[in-house]
Chain A
């Protein structure tokens, strides 16, 4: 280091509590969050309607309710509690603490309690143009969706509706709309309505506006197509000899893979979905007995998502394949596109249903095969 070192010997320890530390990974309970409301740093702002009242007031906002904004501020005399009447306030701003940011950025079913506490305490500010409470509401809706319960879906829908109707910010309205679509699909999934889920999922792929919705839709459609592929092959074990079935099977095969690869190709930083998708692609290649392609996918999985569960689960298989390749032994003597399995045993007493292609998309769809 050069001369700059000489003065950079001081390490400033002025770290505001609850502000600068790394966000904790532990998700607080509703009770903990309720308690935290009174311990948060005093960094929220109250903006006055009357300019004569001067600068905005920096406080800790505990709650906003019908009577006003309930705040705390530490003064020389100690902690002061006040309720600021609505008619004096032009707006409020909440400074998200690391805990709050974590809850917003990583919604989960476990976070519902804590998020609900924050939302309930602040949702009265939803129509204020300075309020960022919509972010909390959307995170709460996402977390509620992840609970996979009817009541939670209803609460999520209501929350999103409030944001859509009351938030003055267009980007918050848009985010709520996208989450509503994802929620609709989650509902259809939970209701066990595959046809309806298919419809919504295809609609989502056509709009392709929200990564989370796309990941959910493509995961669903990928599974559906792979299941259809397996069922079709079971129903038509000699599909490759059947001119009528072969193109249908080919379409299912290609779409299964396209859907499986979508997360890693288009949302590659969503590690869980991307690695799961690659594992699915590996399963498809395994199913179609394409060992070279299967190994390629496992190589990608290991290289791109080494810490993922999918990579760990398939590590032995990859090692086996690598060893086999190193020995010069064929991975498995099966054609890439899957030869008919002469030894397939048994038949299924099942009504035959050839899968039907989705309705023709009205606009471009990556999965229009």
Chain B
């Protein structure tokens, strides 16, 4: 097919995908991470002018009161006014010095850090500063410098704060982290790394949460410094204690960046190592919400306890956590950012299954958007590349469902087309054709439309609906011109549709149209040899041999490497032969290479046939002997042997014919199972006339003994089976009855059971031995053999017998459910033709065994669902393709079933039909007469019954059967046997009064 490789896997178009907002979020969150423990809250009020017209004392008092009440705004205004109004005077210098630190702190608390910093630095120079106040000022100076973009200044203050052992430990640790942060702000990554490597353990020792923050900063620095391996090690360390990390979102974003780096560097495994650490958004939300809930519980508790410091700390922390969560929730594609990259890493390693599984989960969990649209299409391609057609078809449906409301669906045409491929891959040709047509109809202007239209027709062609497919291709052809990509495909396959439909002239015309276009290179020439061969073959099919010969010879000359050459040579040989050129035919056949073994062997057999026609017996002998030498593994060796035997017979040399066969049996008899071997053994029978049957038996017996001695088990089994087959035949054995012969046959086959290994035994032998065992009552052996047959020979026609046989065994064992299952499997898988379902939905397998199974099914249903049983029997009776005996038996069973249900009137016509229509089965006819008589008696119609019994009694051909005797007795009991109305012979009815 021209488009067969359309679903070839393409790389996912994952990269270059911009995950909206991720980078912005990462930067924001990193800053939050750095400052998250700083306990300062900034009110939003604007700075007002200070209170006017107050005395110095009033201003001081107001400022200090406000300061103590944490009313920083009022405090700052009062202090500012005080300094503005009374500063610079010698008498107020001391007071101003006292106010400045308070004003500085008020500024800090109000977030006015630029204003605060000079005041803080001035204050720190003041003598006699209260030590507690000094520690605050140092810390705030560091913080203000940091926040106002003066990292070096900040570092000096924070260093002083850390070295101040009187400062509370938590604050010193914060100073330490912020000190490291100054290097980050300066982008001095080396120093930042060194710093955090040195002090990280100390920070972690104080608080795992602070330690995690320090590690995240170090990770950031390591990544900036491109120390990727160290970054991975550290990331793994952080991940190991994720529950102690508040900055999970920042950390995850950094992991994605890190994974991206490795992916871009082609280090897919390292990328996976990193990306697999990124928790799912839901997991992060769960973790953060849990932490938030815990913090809120702590806050409640702190509030109840009146612990204002802790309340303030917790409020800040909760506010930041909420802010982070809010910001995180705004990133819609967080999961996809990680999962797409992870899938990409697996794709880089050519792990399509792994990538597809990741995408499969991802696309269903995400809100539909452009990424989902693209990824779902990629997923569909992935499943197709793995031949997971059912999943691919479902993914196509998922795509349609999830992208329904998206404004842009760039992959939709391809997805619709690929759905067709997915269905085609499941051999759902009708559904595939519909899917292709949908794609073509939805996007008539798209480049995929003509391909889809063509594939729809091609699938209809697969259904052998040639006319419909042809019409579809005709319609498409009208809209194409030769420059179109699909023109050659449409034209060629239109011609093929004609060809399949045996419409030779239009087929040739269409092939010619293609060839004319291909000749001037205006269209693809991929079908040229095929089209030439088809044209030639069409003449052959029409018995127009001279045209066929000319074209096939040209074909051989022009296309010596064509895949169609073996078939062309075979057709050429046939055509030449039909024209009487046997020599030429033989030469054509002999040019078929053995690389096409089927055609080669067929050609060989046909050459043998030419020799036969020319009565060249010696040549035939040489020819087939050579075949056995050159093609010992061919399934046609039995045929070759048959011809060799025939030749010898024709020459009157029966001994030679036998010798050939015995040699072949010796040579191939112990071969592993292959088609045709058993036929050699059976063919022997024809070389021994009835009078010499005992010779054949004796020779086979000797061979069997030898094969057993030599432990040539396969050989021994084949011989044993051949002996049994011989004994079943009446040829040369008129002394035994058929029953006796059948009994012997069964016994001999059953005797083979111990030596049979199903894997090493031909299906025909297995089936025969299994059937014999079952008939013999050896249920267990039979079951094993049937099981071995279905197990080792799933494609053998004899598998039908295994499924049916297992069903019959189950039935005998009373396991109705098992029987039903085996019969289902038989009917589902039988190689025999199956009837179309009748009006009751019953579809029979058209064979004797099919009828037996159907009747067994009817038996199964007869008690619980007799009406359904009757429908099955009706189906058998009505179907003229069923064996006659089966139809008769179905009638009989129908009649008996009605009778057993007390429906005697309904049974009458069925009994009657049997003895009217099926006289070739006398035993059944006798039973039908008797059954009808009984039914009439039940209906209180003794006279009618007596007529029927009398008719039975008057039939000498039925006299030996038990129902005839019983009928006669009933006739007598009802008043005597009536004379036949139209006696056909001179026989007098028996004495009515014995």
Chain A partners chain B: yes
Residues of A with C-beta under 8 A to B301 = 45, 47, 56, 90-91, 93, 130
A171 in contact with B795 (CB, 8 Å): no
Residues of A with C-beta under 8 A to B758 = 347
Query: How distant is the Cα of A150 from the Cα of B473 in the complex, in angstroms?
Result: 70
B42 interface hit (Cβ, 8 Å): no
Residues of B with C-beta under 8 A to A75 = none
User: Which of B152, B169, B791 has a CB less than 8 Å from the CB of A347?
Assistant: B791
Residues of B with C-beta under 8 A to A237 = 759, 791-792
B155 interface hit (Cβ, 8 Å): yes
Known contacts A45-B301, A257-B353; A55 and B306 CB within 8 A of each other: yes
User: Which of B195, B243, B272, B286 has a CB less than 8 Å from the CB of A304?
Assistant: B272
Min distance, Cβ A219 to any Cβ of chain B, angstroms: 16
User: Which of B277, B290, B293 has a CB less than 8 Å from the CB of A269?
Assistant: B277
B182 interface hit (Cβ, 8 Å): yes
A1 interface hit (Cβ, 8 Å): yes
Residues of B with C-beta under 8 A to A352 = 787
Residues of A with C-beta under 8 A to B56 = none
Please name 26 pairs of A and B residues whose Cβ atoms are closer than 8 Å in the assembled complex, sorted by A. Answer: A2-B155, A2-B188, A2-B191, A4-B183, A4-B195, A8-B159, A11-B202, A14-B206, A15-B205, A20-B204, A51-B305, A54-B305, A91-B301, A171-B289, A171-B293, A237-B792, A241-B794, A258-B353, A296-B349, A300-B269, A300-B349, A303-B269, A304-B272, A364-B364, A366-B360, A366-B361
Residues of B with C-beta under 8 A to A64 = none
A54 in contact with B306 (CB, 8 Å): yes
Residues of A with C-beta under 8 A to B350 = 296
A195 interface hit (Cβ, 8 Å): no
Residues of A with C-beta under 8 A to B794 = 236, 238-239, 241-242, 245
Query: How distant is the Cα of A33 from the Cα of B821 in the complex, in angstroms?
Result: 61
B357 in contact with A12 (CB, 8 Å): no
A244 in contact with B792 (CB, 8 Å): no
Residues of A with C-beta under 8 A to B27 = none
B305 in contact with A56 (CB, 8 Å): yes
Query: How distant is the Cα of A14 from the Cα of B165 in the complex, in angstroms?
Result: 11
* Closest B residue to A364 using CB positions: B364
B650 interface hit (Cβ, 8 Å): no
B297 interface hit (Cβ, 8 Å): yes
A149 interface hit (Cβ, 8 Å): no
Residues of A with C-beta under 8 A to B364 = 364
* Closest A residue to B161 using CB positions: A7
The 9 closest A-B pairs by CB, nearest first: A268-B276, A7-B159, A242-B794, A303-B269, A20-B205, A56-B305, A7-B163, A47-B301, A55-B305
Query: How distant is the Cα of A368 from the Cα of B391 in the complex, in angstroms?
Result: 8
Min distance, Cβ A56 to any Cβ of chain B, angstroms: 4
Residues of B with C-beta under 8 A to A51 = 304-306
Query: How distant is the Cα of A1 from the Cα of B199 in the complex, in angstroms?
Result: 13
B194 interface hit (Cβ, 8 Å): yes
Residues of B with C-beta under 8 A to A264 = 276
Query: How distant is the Cα of A257 from the Cα of B391 in the complex, in angstroms?
Result: 15
B813 interface hit (Cβ, 8 Å): no
Interface residue tally on B, bucketed by range = 35 or more
Min distance, Cβ A92 to any Cβ of chain B, angstroms: 9
Query: How distant is the Cα of A236 from the Cα of B277 in the complex, in angstroms?
Result: 42
Q: Of residues A8, A241, A269, which shows the largest number of chain B Cβ atoms within 10 Å of its Cβ?
A: A8
Residues 143-175 of A, flagged 1 when their CB comes within 8 A of B and 0 if not, give: 000000000000000000000000001010000
Min distance, Cβ B529 to any Cβ of chain A, angstroms: 30
- Report A338-353 residues with CB < 8 Å from chain B CB: 344, 347, 349, 352
* Closest A residue to B346 using CB positions: A265
A6 interface hit (Cβ, 8 Å): yes
- Report B158-174 residues with CB < 8 Å from chain A CB: 158-160, 162-163, 165, 169, 172
Query: How distant is the Cα of A129 from the Cα of B791 in the complex, in angstroms?
Result: 65
Residues of B with C-beta under 8 A to A8 = 159, 162-163, 176, 179, 195, 198-199
- Report A252-281 residues with CB < 8 Å from chain B CB: 254, 257-258, 261-262, 264-266, 268-269
Query: How distant is the Cα of A93 from the Cα of B301 in the complex, in angstroms?
Result: 9
A132 in contact with B294 (CB, 8 Å): yes
B358 interface hit (Cβ, 8 Å): yes
User: Which of A11, A56, A368 has a CB less than 8 Å from the CB of B307?
Assistant: A56
B239 in contact with A269 (CB, 8 Å): yes
B322 interface hit (Cβ, 8 Å): no
Query: How distant is the Cα of A51 from the Cα of B308 in the complex, in angstroms?
Result: 13
Residues of B with C-beta under 8 A to A300 = 269, 349, 351
A171 in contact with B269 (CB, 8 Å): no
Query: How distant is the Cα of A225 from the Cα of B205 in the complex, in angstroms?
Result: 48
A313 interface hit (Cβ, 8 Å): no
Query: How distant is the Cα of A349 from the Cα of B783 in the complex, in angstroms?
Result: 10
A235 interface hit (Cβ, 8 Å): yes
A3 interface hit (Cβ, 8 Å): yes
A48 in contact with B388 (CB, 8 Å): no
A347 in contact with B155 (CB, 8 Å): no
User: Which of B162, B298, B828 has a CB less than 8 Å from the CB of A7?
Assistant: B162
User: Which of A90, A132, A244 has a CB less than 8 Å from the CB of B304?
Assistant: A90
Query: How distant is the Cα of A149 from the Cα of B813 in the complex, in angstroms?
Result: 42
- B residues near A, CB below 8 A? 152, 155-156, 158-160, 162-163, 165, 169, 172, 176, 179, 182-183, 188, 191, 194-195, 198-199, 202, 204-206, 239, 243, 269, 272-273, 276-277, 286, 289-290, 293-294, 297-298, 300-302, 304-307, 342, 346, 349-351, 353-354, 357-358, 360-361, 364, 386, 388, 390-391, 394, 758-759, 784, 787-788, 791-795, 825, 828-829
Query: How distant is the Cα of A239 from the Cα of B795 in the complex, in angstroms?
Result: 10
Query: How distant is the Cα of A254 from the Cα of B388 in the complex, in angstroms?
Result: 9
Residues of A with C-beta under 8 A to B202 = 11-12
Min distance, Cβ B165 to any Cβ of chain A, angstroms: 8
A258 in contact with B828 (CB, 8 Å): no
Known contacts A48-B305, A51-B304; A93 and B357 CB within 8 A of each other: no
Query: How distant is the Cα of A344 from the Cα of B391 in the complex, in angstroms?
Result: 32
Residues of A with C-beta under 8 A to B188 = 2
A4 in contact with B169 (CB, 8 Å): no
Residues of B with C-beta under 8 A to A261 = 353-354, 357
Known: A12-B169, A347-B759. 6 other contacts (CB 8 A): A8-B195, A14-B206, A20-B206, A90-B304, A242-B794, A257-B353
Min distance, Cβ B8 to any Cβ of chain A, angstroms: 16
Min distance, Cβ B291 to any Cβ of chain A, angstroms: 10
Residues of A with C-beta under 8 A to B191 = 1-2
User: Which of B172, B182, B269, B353 has a CB less than 8 Å from the CB of A12?
Assistant: B172
Residues of B with C-beta under 8 A to A132 = 294
Query: How distant is the Cα of A241 from the Cα of B794 in the complex, in angstroms?
Result: 6
Residues of B with C-beta under 8 A to A296 = 349-351
B304 in contact with A47 (CB, 8 Å): yes
A369 interface hit (Cβ, 8 Å): yes
Min distance, Cβ B259 to any Cβ of chain A, angstroms: 12
A4 in contact with B360 (CB, 8 Å): no
Residues of A with C-beta under 8 A to B342 = 265
Query: How distant is the Cα of A69 from the Cα of B172 in the complex, in angstroms?
Result: 35
- Report A308-366 residues with CB < 8 Å from chain B CB: 344, 347, 349, 352, 364, 366
Residues of B with C-beta under 8 A to A236 = 791, 794
Residues of A with C-beta under 8 A to B759 = 237, 344, 347
A10 interface hit (Cβ, 8 Å): yes
A25 interface hit (Cβ, 8 Å): no
Min distance, Cβ A89 to any Cβ of chain B, angstroms: 11
B795 in contact with A241 (CB, 8 Å): yes
Q: Of residues B202, B305, B388, B759, which shows the largest number of chain A Cβ atoms within 10 Å of its Cβ?
A: B305
A243 interface hit (Cβ, 8 Å): yes
Residues of B with C-beta under 8 A to A303 = 269, 273
Q: Of residues A15, A238, A245, which shows the largest number of chain B Cβ atoms within 10 Å of its Cβ?
A: A238
B307 in contact with A55 (CB, 8 Å): yes
Known contacts A2-B191, A3-B155, A235-B791; A244 and B825 CB within 8 A of each other: yes
Query: How distant is the Cα of A263 from the Cα of B638 in the complex, in angstroms?
Result: 57
Residues of A with C-beta under 8 A to B354 = 261, 265
Query: How distant is the Cα of A334 from the Cα of B484 in the complex, in angstroms?
Result: 42
Min distance, Cβ B810 to any Cβ of chain A, angstroms: 11
